[in-house]
Structure 1
Amino acid sequence: MAQTSTLAAEAGQSRRSAANGDKYERLIAKAREIPPALTAVAHPCDEASLRGALDAAAQGLITPILVGPTGRIIATAKQAGLDIAGFEIVDTPHSHASAAKAVELVHAGKAALLMKGSLHTDELLAEVTNKETGLRTGRRISHVFIMDVPTYAEPLFITDAAVNIFPDLEAKRDIIQNAIDLHVGLGLGTPRVAILSAVETVTTKIPSTLEAAALCKMADRGQICGGLLDGPLALDNAISPEAASIKGIVSPVAGKAQILVVPDLEAGNMLAKNLTFLSGADAAGIVLGARVPIILTSRADNVRTRLASCAVAGLYAHALAQTRPIGG
């Protein structure tokens, strides 16, 4: 039974890779044109996280600094048949210390990116958000999925589906600005941003519609910059021109959104996983709003998705460095 499940999973990944277009490939190719960023990999003590870092290094996307218990990292590499010769290892006693040390390397300017290994996301982000030693900026930290959906012509950003559980209006402002800045920083142009709810009309019965309307007005007043916003929009009329036309919605965003802003983490997580498991989409992901982009991968990610996450983070860090010092 286990072998059958494994074969089925591998077949599913093959179909997914074949069905998807070259959205990730374009980003990966572009990232290879810039120098690989020194990347502090926090606690790469299982095969998936260690292999992900080494695969990205082999593609010229990052130069990993392996931060964790030296013995465990060496044992993991040996068991998985991975060659870590030539890569710097910074020894730490446990996962909490690994997170703290990886953040310290970034804080000291010894690494330009941060990458999650085999520790819990909350453990890493607790060090990132530490008021004394972390990597906080004036922005709320948020997560963006960069989705490669086979049936959609462009990369589709979904935010926030991993960090902010029930963001308020001010948090959503930062979540949107982080995603807009990423879209622009990747060279994808001015994004069309759909603020999602269950309906496309404003009603006091659904608070997310009120927030969507307020966020659009904030964009009108320059409190959110660099993108075209519309909302509230239901998912269908955000991504389907036909659905938007049937509802009589006329806007530069409706029917062709590039960034989907969800009401809360639950809705975003379900939407992203729905696309992944029912539509064969891939979901690269990074965390924004800190001094540097944070590569946040999952053990379930395939190689292509891990490489895309590294490519996106590297490209964005490079773009930030061209305009301002990271963290500025």
Structure 2
Amino acid sequence: MDMIENRTIDELAVGDAAESERVLTRQDIALFATASADVNPLDVGRGADREAGSSPVEEGTDDTDGLQQGIAHGWAGMLISSILLNRLPGPGTAHLGQTLQFHQPVQIGERVRTRVTVAAVDTASSTVRLDCECLNDADEAVVSGVAEVRAPTTKIRRARASLPARPKSAHGVRFAALVDRARELEPLVTAIVHPCDDLSLGGALAARDEGMIMPVLVGPVAKIEAAAKEAGLDLAGVEIVDAPHSHAAAEAAVALVHEGRAGALMKGKLHTDELLMAVLDKARGLRTERRLSHVFALDVPGQDRTLFVTDAAINISPDLDALADIVRNAIDMTIAIGVDVPKVALLSAVETVTGKLPSTLLAAAICKMHDRGQITGGKIDGPLAFDNAISPAAVAAKGIVSDVAGHADILVTPNLESGNMIAKQLIHLAGASSAGIALGARVPIMLTSRSDTIDARIVSAALAKVFYHWRRLRPLGLG
């Protein structure tokens, strides 16, 4: 049984210290907001969600590149209180006062190390002053301050109380089930391409710890080890394949797939174009007869199913042949994770076919290809506006008769811009959990972005793992 034991006033001395570590998650923000009634949208809705390459924020604007003072700092202060009341001095402690200074934002997915140190002891009054600080991955102070407590005078040793289960809601539940399913499969050997920062390294190791992947780090050894040291990550037992720079790392990772030493790729700290250049190389790449496309998986609160949005990351303005492959890839992925007959909605602004909107013509052609057996595995309808794709009420109001309308699993957008906007709106406005992989190559590719949380990286690895094992029995043609 896990026990906790306090330190009485007579046992305390200047310099005594205790610390803990915790990663800030989106669910932590939501739970703290609910408990504190702090619903500042800067705290709840944004976080570390800016994509690499986006425009910098001008000084004085409302936007933020991280969580502002508020919920995240309140969360950090709570970590300090937890150490004081449970470890140093521990049970029986009376919290008399605390002053905190907030130095910089805490980002979702960031590891925070909290430390309290005894600075002064007054045995006559049983009061203790402690220095408190919360440090980020770069060992920089996020929060610092001083706490004053009345230390216990009686020894207490008791069983540690079990935390209440986190309330289950629509947010993240289906992803949790996906991760649980993926744990039953053999870990997927994954080449992590140029993981030269704490996010890509930490995400890969977290996915390993969850049983999703067996990472092989591909990139400059010195940079990888330096990034690991700075982030406090242990690379013991992790294979590293040396490559001098990001381009070479992408080529080396692709070569590992050809050699049978990797079954998936995960993007590290390099541009997507660099990785895809190696993947799509006609001589040495990982091309198949399929077009490469990306699928976002979104666990949206209030929805009774996972939604998939494609393509929001690779194909800018697909023609008919590319769009057909985008649909095929998305159908394959949804079947792989357990959707028996995926419902596919081809999105446009209207439900009628008109020459004035080319997207309606493409949607109609895709539907006819499905009718002729050129696209199989699901039910397809379009063109459909977004509301008529997902809302039964909107479908009823317009009198649309369709097996897909109102119940779509897959939302196929006419171009990258619209797909990216839909996915980001569901994430940032509807609070959706997100993950995604690129399909159509010999192996699944996790195109993680700088803004992806650790949880998003783990779920993306789960998607890739489940798809890989499903695809092994159904190989794509190579071309």
Q: CA deviation at 1:185?
A: 1.3
Match of 1:185 among 328, 333, 336: 336
> Please, which runs of 5 or more residues in structure 2 have no aligned partner?
1-63, 76-106, 110-165
Query: In structure 1, what is the equivalent of residue 285 of structure 2?
Result: 134
Higher-Rg structure is: 2
Distance 2:463 2:65 in 1: 34
Aligned to 2:68: 5
Deviations for 1:51-96, whole angstroms, at most 9, x for unmatched residues?
A: 0000000011000000000001101001001011100000010000
Residue of structure 2 equivalent to 1:280? 431
In the other structure, the counterpart of 1:293 is: 444
Partners of 1:292 and 1:326 within 8 A in 2: no
Shift of 1:188: 1.9
Cα distance in 1 for residues equivalent to 2:186 and 2:477: 16
1:165 matched to 2:228? no
The alpha-carbon deviation at position 304 of structure 1 amounts to 1.5
Indicate which of 94, 109, 114 corresponds to 2:260.
Answer: 109
* Offset at residue 194 of structure 1 (A): 0.2
Give the structure 1 partner of residue 232 of structure 2: 81
Q: What does 1:1-328 align with in structure 2 at a 5 Å threshold? A: 5=68, 8=71, 20-324=171-475
CA distance, structure 2, for counterparts of residue 115 and residue 2 of structure 1: 24
Tell me by how many angstroms 1:122 deviates.
0.6
Q: CA RMSD in A?
A: 2.2
Taking the aligned partners of 1:320 and 1:155, their CA distance within structure 2 comes to 20
Contact 2:445–2:464 at 8 Å: present in 1 too?
yes
Quickly say closer, same or farther: Cα 1:110–1:6, change in 2 above 3 A: farther
What is the aligned-residue identity percentage? Answer: 57
Going from structure 1 to structure 2, the CA distance change for 1:2 and 1:106 (only over 3 Å counts) comes to closer
| TM-superposition CA deviations, 1:182-225 (whole Å, max 9, x none) | 11111221100000000111111111011101110100001111
Per-residue deviation, residues 218-250 of structure 1 (Å, max 9, x unmatched): 000011110100000000000000001111111
Amino acid of the structure 2 residue aligned with 1:283: S
Q: Name the SS for the 2:429 alignment partner.
A: helix
Cα gap change, 1:65 to 1:166, in 2 (>3 Å): same
Distance of 2:67 and 2:183 partners within structure 1: 37
CA distance in 2 between partners of 1:53 and 1:3 (Å): 22
Change (3 A) 1:92 1:150: same
Structure-2 change in CA distance of 1:169 and 1:79 (3 Å) = same
Contact residue 285 and residue 295 of structure 1 kept, 8 A: yes
Q: Cα deviation per residue 1:279-310 (whole Å; 9 max; x = unaligned)?
A: 11122010000000001111111122111100
- The structure richer in helix per residue is 1
Equivalent pair of 1:196/1:232 in contact (CA under 8 Å): yes
Decide whether the 8 Å contact of 1:40 with 1:66 is kept in 2: yes
Indicate the SS of the match to 1:5. coil
Structure 1 2/104 Cα, relative in aligned 2: closer, same or farther at 3 Å? closer
Aligned partners of 1:184 and 1:274: how far apart in 2?
A: 25
Q: Is the CA contact (8 Å cut-off) linking 1:320 and 1:326 kept in structure 2?
A: no
* Gapped regions of structure 1 (runs ≥ 5): none
Q: Could you list the per-position Cα deviations for residues 160-189 of structure 1 after superposition, in whole angstroms to 9, with x for gaps in the alignment?
A: 000000000110000000000111111221
In structure 2, how many angstroms separate the alpha carbons of the residues matched to 1:302 and 1:309? 11
Letter in 2 for 1:202: V
- How far apart are 1:21 and its partner, in Å? 4.0
Provide runs of 4+ in structure 1 moved above 2 Å. 1-4, 6-15, 322-328
SS for the counterpart of 1:279 is coil
CA distance in 2, matches of 1:327, 1:30: 29
Structure 1's 19 and 218: CA in aligned 2 closer, same or farther, altered over 3 A?
closer
Does 5-14 or 42-51 show the bigger shift?
5-14
More strand, by proportion: 2
- CA offset at residue 321 of structure 1? 1.1
Q: CA deviation at 1:152?
A: 1.3
The two structures have a TM-score, normalised by structure 1, of 0.95
Instruction: Please say if residues 289 and 478 of structure 2, whose CA atoms lie closer than 8 Å, have aligned partners that are also in contact.
Output: no
Contact 1:317 1:326 in 2 (8 A): no
Output the amino acid matched with 2:286: L
Distance 1:199 1:151 in 2: 25
Deviation of 1:6 (Å): 6.4
| In structure 2, distance between residues paired with 1:195 and 1:263 | 8
Letter paired with 1:72: K
